[in-house]
Chains A and B, each alone.
Chain A
């Protein structure tokens, strides 16, 4: 028979003993240690989660600090840029002011030099013109320049407009008792002096001839000049040179304006 009852009973007992032994030596210790490890791992996971939470909080704090620093950096940068712009504008304005000042000084210097130049030019040109006219008159008409100037002065004195005659007469009457100077570049010939005095006597018969003083002034540009307080009558080449000076000034101003426009 394949089944031995005693063996069956013995095997049942053996199996039950084996269950008890394995429960004691295998299942209980293994399951306990696995539960213990699970608790340990769970604790470690919990600790890790806690650490992660702390790390996230730290990261968030650092992120906020970084954002704050970035904002502060941007603010400082903006302030620095504004200050730099302001400083640049100030420097530019200062430079512009300095340039304007220098330009103004330069223009003033140019104007001064121009005035000096024109004055010198007027003086030299007057002298040169007088010498040239003298030569021309001598060569063409065998005439004397000084005589012609005196002639022209006398002619102007004789043909004064009516209103100007009144002014002359009033001035002469007001200057009574004073010396009246008739200046000329050259020594006035006596006949011309007499002619001038005669004309002046017509305008102011009460005036004596002794009040009129004829003076020679070399600096006067080739002409004759009568100065009475409140009135002046002259014929000089300077009048023509003044027109030349006016023309030169106009040309000069035009050139300056074009320079300014060209920058």
Chain B
């Protein structure tokens, strides 16, 4: 038993290796893209819609509402990034009920990659909202002495994001594997059902935290812009 799907290598060439993480990531990507394409080929604007369109609208609408609740502003700029985080992690975890499937989110490389995406998305959205100088000034708030702590805080939350998701998914997979060898009839099924729940919860937590980090930068930006406008008006 491998601790991470990175260790299941199907093909190796030089320094490049094709492991299970990449294979199942592409599988999940394929399912998502092909499924979306199949459904969105024949969209209907009327009140009579297909089940697939209904499912996708419920998912997209739910994500959009969650984003709007957090940032209290239009969710359109954040929807692709946050929504993809949630959908990818959730589907990666849900597919773990398929025998032989290894969730990519059980790989610390995948969770680290997703956390790095969030790590870079936060300043990108912040800079997009406020500009480079305005974004960097928040590291000096409330006092320039806080600069190292703010930087450490950014890194630590990225590590926390990655390790939390990896730990939960990997532990679930490991528990099911161990229980299969100990009590193969009943408990693995229960743990798989529990795994479905924790998988969706972890996806929700990851996406919400990412949105909160981005929103924190946006809210700082809003507060500063409000104070700037007040100063300019005053």
On whether the beta carbons of B109 and A4 are closer than 8 Å, the reply is: yes
9 interchain residue pairs of minimum CB distance: A11-B113, A7-B109, A26-B36, A29-B40, A36-B45, A23-B80, A25-B36, A2-B108, A33-B43
29 A-B residue pairs with CB within 8 Å = A2-B4, A2-B108, A2-B109, A3-B109, A4-B21, A4-B109, A6-B16, A7-B6, A7-B19, A9-B113, A11-B25, A11-B107, A12-B113, A12-B117, A14-B25, A14-B26, A18-B33, A18-B84, A21-B33, A23-B84, A25-B33, A27-B60, A27-B79, A30-B43, A31-B79, A33-B44, A33-B53, A34-B57, A34-B61
- Chain B positions 14-50 with a Cβ under 8 Å from a chain A Cβ: 15-17, 19, 21-22, 25-26, 29, 32-33, 36-37, 40, 43-47
List chain B residues, Cβ under 8 A from A36: 45
On whether the beta carbons of B29 and A14 are closer than 8 Å, the reply is: yes
User: What distance in Å separates the Cβ of A117 from its nearest Cβ neighbour in chain B?
Assistant: 107
On whether the beta carbons of B109 and A22 are closer than 8 Å, the reply is: no
> Using a CB–CB distance below 8 Å, which chain B residues touch chain A?
3-4, 6, 15-17, 19, 21-22, 25-26, 29, 32-33, 36-37, 40, 43-47, 53, 56-57, 60-61, 64, 76, 79-81, 83-84, 87-88, 104, 107-110, 112-114, 116-117, 166
Q: Does A10 contact B (CB under 8 A)?
A: yes
CB-based nearest B residue for A23: B80
> Using a CB–CB distance below 8 Å, which chain A residues touch chain B?
2-12, 14-19, 21-23, 25-27, 29-31, 33-34, 36-37, 40-41
CB-based nearest B residue for A26: B36
Bound state CA distance, A7 and B23, in angstroms? 11
List chain B residues, Cβ under 8 A from A34: 57, 60-61
List chain A residues, Cβ under 8 A from B107: 7, 11
Max chain A Cβ within 10 angstroms of own Cβ: one of B25, B40, B88: B40
CB-based nearest A residue for B120: A12
- Name the prevailing secondary structure of the B interface residues: helix
CB-based nearest A residue for B87: A22
Bound state CA distance, A26 and B60, in angstroms? 9
List chain B residues, Cβ under 8 A from A22: 32-33, 36, 80, 83-84, 87
List chain A residues, Cβ under 8 A from B15: 6
List chain A residues, Cβ under 8 A from B60: 26-27, 30-31, 34
List chain A residues, Cβ under 8 A from B112: 3, 8
List chain B residues, Cβ under 8 A from A33: 43-45, 53, 57
On whether the beta carbons of B113 and A15 are closer than 8 Å, the reply is: yes
Bound state CA distance, A16 and B33, in angstroms? 13
Q: Which of B26, B116, B166 contacts A12 (CB 8 A)?
A: B116
On whether the beta carbons of A11 and B80 are closer than 8 Å, the reply is: no
List chain A residues, Cβ under 8 A from B117: 12, 15-16
List chain B residues, Cβ under 8 A from A9: 113
List 9 extra interface pairs beyond A11-B22, A25-B40, A30-B57, CB under 8 A.
A2-B108, A15-B113, A18-B84, A22-B87, A23-B80, A25-B33, A25-B36, A26-B40, A26-B56
List chain B residues, Cβ under 8 A from A30: 40, 43, 53, 56-57, 60
On whether the beta carbons of A11 and B110 are closer than 8 Å, the reply is: yes
On whether the beta carbons of A21 and B29 are closer than 8 Å, the reply is: yes
